């Protein structure tokens, strides 16, 4: 099946694959995240699907938003914001294992932290590069990043925007398993199959206990994140940050 730029395929045992089809960089917008949410809601309604593997076509898992595009696509039809669709993702019920190839950058890191688990290769890299662009992080990272790596490490990654390679990501808890690039999808599928072979009612109950009111907390986090992003996008520092990224140089921020 197809949901916009998201493909859905049944793999058996009862596992399904979601594939983001915007290679090579898989930039997202409101429409893509809405398609992911719709696909997941479809799988939630399918009693034959007990776990999902999330992957992407192309070089990178997700490079976040495309700031070089004149249309950033954060708001879609009906005035729905990209973060409204992110909350829909966090409300879905089927366990997800992500296969992270290449980069998960900015909002792409936020998307990578939505699934229950992540499998990455040592060549993968993760970065919350928002401060290097001159604005506030988003996609619920205020909630998800500290939960995985702890508040102090999360602050370091958000303040500096530095890139974290796959082996360090595994060491600090950003990913759960490492695999060679050519074995990445196979390892993610094996992980999802392990989950799918457990008792489905028990897994659903355990997941609900562990995640609790996560979607509600993501809503509160993204409300704050969105307001700060919109405020800071009007600053000279944001203009300089995006310009420097396009020119592949260090930004010269002035604090205004």
pLDDT digits (tens, 9 = 90+) for 153-181: 999 999 999 999 999 999 999 999 999 99
- Residue 70: the pLDDT is 46
Task: Please tell me the pTM assigned to this model.
Answer: 0.94
Which residues, including other chains, have CB under 8 Å from residue 111's CB and lie 6 or more apart? 28, 33, 62, 64, 104, 139
Residue 37 pLDDT greater than 50, yes or no: yes
- Rounded to an integer, the average pLDDT of 199-223 is 97
CB 25 within 8 A of CB 58: yes
- Provide the 8-state DSSP code for 206: H
Residue 68 scores a pLDDT above 80: no
Pairing type for strands 15-20 and 51-56 reads parallel
> Model confidence over 198-210: pLDDT tens digits?
999 999 999 999 9
Structural domains in the chain, CATH included, are: 2-180 (3.90.226.10)
Specify the long-range contacts of residues 232-237, CB closer than 8 Å, at least 24 apart. Answer: 232/134, 232/135, 232/136, 233/135, 235/134, 235/135, 237/134
- C-beta separation of 37 from 92 below 8 A: yes
CA atoms of 115 and 95, how far apart (whole Å): 7
Query: Do β-strands 103-105 and 96-100 pair in parallel, antiparallel, or remain unpaired?
Result: unpaired
pLDDT of residue 73: 73
Q: In the predicted model, what is the mean pLDDT of residues 24-47?
A: 95
**pLDDT of the residue at 250:** 93
Q: State the pLDDT confidence band at 148, using cuts at 50, 70 and 90.
A: very high
Residue 72's pLDDT is what? 54
pLDDT tens profile 86-96: 999 999 999 99
């Amino acid at each position: 099946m197809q949901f916009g730029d998201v493909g859905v395929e049944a793999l058996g045992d009862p596992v399904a694959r979601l594939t983001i089809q915007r290679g090579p960089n898989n930039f997202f917008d409101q429409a893509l995240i809405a398609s992911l949410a719709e696909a997941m809601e479809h799988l939630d309604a399918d009693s034959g699907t007990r776990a999902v593997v999330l992957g992407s076509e192309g070089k990178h898992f997700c490079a976040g938003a495309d700031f070089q595009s004149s249309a950033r696509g954060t708001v879609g039809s009906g005035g729905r914001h990209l973060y409204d669709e992110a909350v829909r993702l966090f409300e879905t019920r089927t366990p997800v294992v992500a296969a992270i190839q290449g980069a998960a950058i900015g909002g792409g890191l936020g998307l990578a932290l939505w699934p229950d688990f992540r499998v990455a290769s040592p060549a993968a890299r993760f970065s919350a590069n928002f401060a290097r662009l001159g604005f506030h992080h988003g996609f619920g990272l205020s909630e998800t990043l500290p939960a995985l790596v702890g508040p102090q490490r999360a602050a370091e990654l958000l303040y500096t925007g530095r890139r974290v390679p796959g082996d360090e990501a595994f060491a600090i808890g950003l990913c759960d398993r490492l695999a060679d690039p050519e074995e990445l999808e196979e390892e993610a599928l094996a992980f999802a199959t392990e989950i799918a072979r457990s008792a489905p009612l028990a897994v659903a109950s355990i997941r609900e206990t562990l995640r609790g009111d996560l979607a509600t907390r993501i809503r509160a986090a993204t409300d704050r994140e969105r307001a700060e992003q919109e405020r800071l996008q009007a600053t000279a520092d944001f203009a300089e940050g995006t310009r420097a990224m396009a020119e592949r140089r260090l930004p010269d921020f002035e604090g205004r």
